[in-house]
Amino acid sequence: MRRTVAALLRKELLVELRTLESVPGMSLFAVTTFVVFHFALNQNSVSGDEAAGILWVTLLFAAMLGVNRLFVADQDQGGFDAFLLAPVDRSAMLLAKALALLAYLIVLELVAVPAFGLLLLGPSLSQALPDLLVVLLLADLGIAVIGTLVAALAVRTRARDLLGALLALPLLVPVVIGGARATSPLLGLTHAASPPIRWLLTLGLYDLVFGLIAYAVFDFLLED
Amino acid sequence: MYGRGLRTLSITTVAVMAIALGLVFFYAPLEAEQGFLQKIFYVHVPLAIVALCGFVAGGLMAIQHLRTRDPRWDMRSYVAIHMSLIFAVATLITGSIWAKGSWGHWWVWSEPTLVSFLIVFLLYATYQPLRFAIEDPERQGRYASVFAILAGAFVPLNFLAVRLSTEYLHPRVLGSSSNLPAKMQLTFLVSLLGIALLYLTLCKYELTAKHTRAQLRALRRRLAGESVEGAAPRGRSAAPHLALSPSASASTPRSA
């Protein structure tokens, strides 16, 4: 299982490195969205709830771009067929894809969060950073799991670009709630000590529940 | 086969609904602050409870479908979710009316139950487009079941998250039925029973109608000398279809 996941993950990252289809697009999209927010809100710097909201909306929509592309190559170029021919556990595909998406999200945030601090954020980013990393990681896990599952659901339908976003957005509302509420005290003008623990717990519970469910149902998406 | 007991169930439902409405208007006392407006509580809250239970039940039936691969479970899951969606629309409308009456706004973000309900509704609103976008009936059922399980688990988690996020700005007039006066509680429970029976009856009607239509289609094709195998409807459909075997439809030609 571990070797299968490692092989699949390696293939994912190799394909991404050679084609550069997802991550640069996601990062560019995030930076552009910050510019759009600057003009749409007519503000030079934001803080608190507003800052958390802008950050999470941008990250979520940028993640959607990656989610929509996640299985397209497998569907169009026979990757699914090749995978099904191999005598390996099908859950390996879920794990590998989720880890690949997680990696994309982390790279996205490596670009988007500093850009956000530079372009829009009023308070300094460095004081919020250690706690922010924890929140981002917990939320990324949830987005990666749900994103992988939804991408697999949507990719073999006729309206895959539309359905992916339609399915994923309501499912990710709890992640946005948890992420934004945990982030807003960190980005406030008066820096709070730490993010409220209940939001971290909510995010953790979300990751756990949907991780288990995804593991249980993913096989059924890969039967033909 | 789905039509059995439909008449008894329908009559019981009508009777219980009539009793419930009688209790609501003539037995339950007027609420001190809100007066007559509070009566919508006896419709709104049962609708919401039944719709949510229906969503979760749809998920459980979807688990059954994936385990047994019996398309009838897919049909039941579809009908449960479909009917719950209709009940959810009714819940949102009655909730809006209640909010307008008691707080002066059609929509209030500070009411966590209503907000969670909207999110759940938006999620389940994609159920039919998802089904409609998949042509192969077997895969349609399978994918729809995966969605139903995922969404069924999402319902309680979403309620938790939204509830945590809201400070109670408005006093919760009627949170749970446990702190109600006895007369109100009885009325509420009878209303809940009535709405639940309504849900079951409507589900049964839809199942019966779908089954009858499938039988009719199979018979028509036999008359036209076509192959009855599968007897799928022409064109695409979001609804699952029951593949009747020729013998089953031939043995009960007029039972519906």
Q: How confident is the model over A42-66, as pLDDT tens digits?
A: 988 888 889 999 999 999 999 999 9
The beta-carbon neighbor of A221 closest among B119, B133, B143 is: B143
A104 vs A62: CA distance, rounded Å: 10
- The answer to whether residue A209 scores a pLDDT higher than 90 is yes
Instruction: Note whether residue B173 is domain-resident.
Output: no
pLDDT at A33 (0 to 100): 95
**Beta-carbon contacts of residue B238 (< 8 Å; ≥ 6 apart):** B128, B129, B131, B132
**Contact (CB<8Å) B153/A210:** yes
* Smallest CA–CA distance from A153 into chain B, residue: B143
- The answer to whether residue B83 scores a pLDDT higher than 50 is yes
Enumerate the domain spans of chain A: 2-221
- Number of domains making up chain B: 1
> How much is the mean pLDDT over chain A?
90
pLDDT at A141 (0 to 100): 95
Instruction: Note whether residue B256 is domain-resident.
Output: no
The beta-carbon neighbor of B165 closest among A177, A217, A220 is: A177
**Contact (CB<8Å) B160/A217:** no
Confidence label for B230 from pLDDT (cuts 50, 70 and 90):
low
Question: Is A86 touching B (CB cutoff 8 A)?
Answer: no
Residue numbers in A near B146 (CB within 8 A):
149, 153, 217, 220-221
Would you mind telling me the total number of residues written for chain B in this entry? 256
Of A126-140, A161-175, A192-206, B182-196, the range with the lowest mean pLDDT is A192-206
* DSSP string computed for A38-87: HHHHT-S-B-HHHHHHHHHHHHHHHHHHHHHHTTHHHHHTTHHHHHHHS-
A144 vs A141: CA distance, rounded Å: 5
Question: Which is more confidently placed, B235 or B185?
Answer: B185
Q: Which domain holds residue B43?
A: 6-168+179-251
Euclidean distance between the first and the last CA atom of chain A, given in angstroms as a whole number: 21
A207 vs A212: CA distance, rounded Å: 8
Question: Taking a C-beta distance cutoff of 8 angstroms, is the pair A104, A16 a contact?
Answer: yes
Question: Is A222 touching B (CB cutoff 8 A)?
Answer: no
A202 vs A131: CA distance, rounded Å: 16
CATH number at residue B220: 1.20.120
Confidence label for A215 from pLDDT (cuts 50, 70 and 90):
very high
Q: For residue A36, how far is the Cα from the chain centroid?
A: 21
